[in-house]
Copies of this chain bind each other. A is one copy, B any other.
Amino acid sequence: MSSPSPVLISVDWGTSAFRARLAAADGSALEAVEAAVGATGLTSGAHEAFLETQIGGWMRRFPGLPIMLSGMVGSRQGWVEAPYVACPAGAAEIAAAATSVPAARIGRVVVVPGLSARDARGAPDVMRGEETQILGALGAGGRADGLFVLPGTHSKWARVEAGRIVDFATFMTGEVFAALKDHSLLGRLMAPPDATDAASAADGFARGLAAAAALERPGDLLHAIFMTRTLGLFHELPAQGLADYLSGLLIGAEVLAGAQGAREACVVGSLGLTARYRAAGEALGVALAPAPENCATLGQIALLERMGAP
């Protein structure tokens, strides 16, 4: 039995990581490469050279195979800017706005645009890369509607209707956690990361979720954050549980605000982080169903089909 043929070189290139897959029609990876090289940290002109070092072998073995890139690589700070598409937008609108880049050494590459949205008060929001993952999750789940959460440094909550992303909001949960842990008084009482203690971590996370559920006014979050310190000072949580208290508090507050009263959503992302969000959702009455991990590739294949053969 021969192995399936690849249909796409699928690249997900964000702020901190590069992931490329030689993808079959069903979205599975025949081969894959990853590198801790962000698309926004390279000098102008370096993107194509780096890409060639990563996927050059595939290109020579499968000449003419389409190459598609999504993520921050399409931002002003990345390789080439693919302007934001305004919501509502589905596969048709996103495919129509994809930017085709003539690259000297590796031929044409397609860069997927990001999305923009306005909240009820008119403030703008943006995503890059998550729109492709959402398209993939829609296809994988055989659905055209629902609420999607993509946890991360900048978590996204997106609402989809009839196959189109109608609105979304970014929550800065991951970056707020890191900034407070590493650059505020709160980190001082925390045990070092190597001092693992699963029971204390689970206790801290549960305390944080309970604190999130008890918040009344938005500014109370600025108060509950400070409890990371006082729970440590009064020995009411061990040092090994303090980071998890802060994590549970912030993730819990995000889940309750992102869900806006909904009782279920689809969670898209890496296994470790989605497990954490699913535990938070379970404690807070929001069932989070996991999508496959290869949603970025699945979304790109859906876009490729929209665009027709190159």
Residues of A within 8 A of B (CB): 121, 123-126, 154, 169-173, 175-176, 178-180, 182-186, 210-212, 214-227, 230-231, 233-234, 236, 250, 252-258, 260
Q: B179 near A184 (CB under 8 angstroms)?
A: yes
Q: B154 near A257 (CB under 8 angstroms)?
A: no
Residues of B within 8 Å of A217, CB to CB, are 218, 253, 256-257, 260
Report the minimal beta-carbon distance from A83 to chain B, rounded to whole angstroms: 12
A interface majority secondary structure: helix
Q: What are 24 A-B contacts defined by CB distance under 8 Å? A: A121-B210, A124-B227, A124-B233, A124-B234, A126-B233, A154-B185, A169-B223, A170-B223, A170-B226, A171-B219, A171-B222, A171-B226, A172-B222, A172-B225, A176-B184, A176-B222, A178-B184, A215-B218, A217-B256, A218-B220, A219-B252, A219-B253, A219-B257, A223-B257
Report the bound CA distance from A175 to B215 in whole Å.
20
Residues of B within 8 Å of A210, CB to CB, are 121
Residues of B within 8 Å of A220, CB to CB, are 218, 257
Report the minimal beta-carbon distance from A123 to chain B, rounded to whole angstroms: 5
Report the bound CA distance from A123 to B236 in whole Å.
9
Closest 7 CB pairs of A and B: A219-B257, A219-B253, A215-B218, A217-B257, A183-B183, A179-B179, A171-B222
Q: B154 near A226 (CB under 8 angstroms)?
A: yes
Report the bound CA distance from A147 to B56 in whole Å.
68
Residue ID in chain B nearest A252 by CB atoms: B219
Residue ID in chain B nearest A232 by CB atoms: B124
Report the minimal beta-carbon distance from A171 to chain B, rounded to whole angstroms: 4
Report the minimal beta-carbon distance from A243 to chain B, rounded to whole angstroms: 15
Residues of B within 8 Å of A171, CB to CB, are 219, 222-223, 226
Report the bound CA distance from A169 to B219 in whole Å.
11
Residues of B within 8 Å of A179, CB to CB, are 179-180, 183-184
Excluding A125-B230, A172-B225, 17 further A-B contacts by CB distance (< 8 Å) are: A121-B210, A121-B211, A123-B224, A124-B227, A154-B226, A172-B184, A172-B186, A172-B226, A176-B176, A176-B180, A212-B218, A215-B218, A218-B218, A218-B257, A219-B256, A221-B253, A222-B253
Report the bound CA distance from A214 to B171 in whole Å.
16
Report the minimal beta-carbon distance from A97 to chain B, rounded to whole angstroms: 18
Residues of B within 8 Å of A254, CB to CB, are 219, 222
Residues of B within 8 Å of A175, CB to CB, are 184-185
Report the minimal beta-carbon distance from A189 to chain B, rounded to whole angstroms: 11
Report the bound CA distance from A171 to B218 in whole Å.
12
Residues of B within 8 Å of A186, CB to CB, are 172
Interface centre among A222, A254, A255, A258 (most CB of B within 10 A): A222
Report the bound CA distance from A225 to B225 in whole Å.
15
Report the minimal beta-carbon distance from A263 to chain B, rounded to whole angstroms: 15
Residues of B within 8 Å of A121, CB to CB, are 210-211, 214
Report the bound CA distance from A233 to B126 in whole Å.
9
